[in-house]
A and B are shown apart, each in its own frame.
Chain A
């Protein structure tokens, strides 16, 4: 079946611009995660959505970052007033509902964001 889909695959923008990254999870997966992968910091958790519960935003690095998930499916990660340190690959993952944290996450191919 279809996997996790992310768009765009690449995004180049100027410093100070806003960007939106989209994630379409696997159908039936109620848990959705965003991670950031950068050379200096490795893979970092950003935000987690589970069903209709309030999202866990504990990994968002600043208030310039926000995310929403509409209708329990598609998610959008927004970065406002981008900075060069935001350059990274942004990965989205989804999984079945996890009441014990033991469900494997399925990852998209990521969006490579470059800030000029």
Chain B
């Protein structure tokens, strides 16, 4: 079974600073990994996905993530934080093990990003 751990339920950065949100996964098969962002009272919006192509994945709004198999990690980064980045971020792994081949997502607990002026 897959699982996801997000280190740090809250991260606070200053505007213009580097954003680093940590995600580690556990999977019995090569994983498909996703980062989603959730703004208050809204659903989840896809930021980026890793599906076994390039290990460095670029997403929307200047975010990117690097898949590191040796570290079982998929950390999300952005070089310079903006006030509008304040939201909750979820890392997720897709279930496609055992031939069932469907995309049920297992989510991490989420990280709330606060951006200070």
Contact = CB atoms under 8 A, between A and B. Distances in A.
- The answer to whether A and B assemble together is yes
Contact of B102 (A48, A59, A93, A110): A48
- Range of interface residues on A (Cβ < 8 Å): 20 to 34
A109 interface: yes
B64 to A, nearest CB: 16
Given A42-B109, A43-B107, A110-B43, A104 B34 contact: yes
Nearest to A110: B43
B43 A48 contact: no
Interface residues of B, number: 27
B43 A91 contact: yes
Contact of B95 (A35, A99, A101, A109): A101
Interface string A87-116: 000010101001111111111111010000
B13 to A, nearest CB: 23
A112 B43 CA distance: 11
Nearest to A9: B41
Interface of B: 32, 34, 36, 41-46, 49, 51-52, 90, 92, 94-96, 101-110
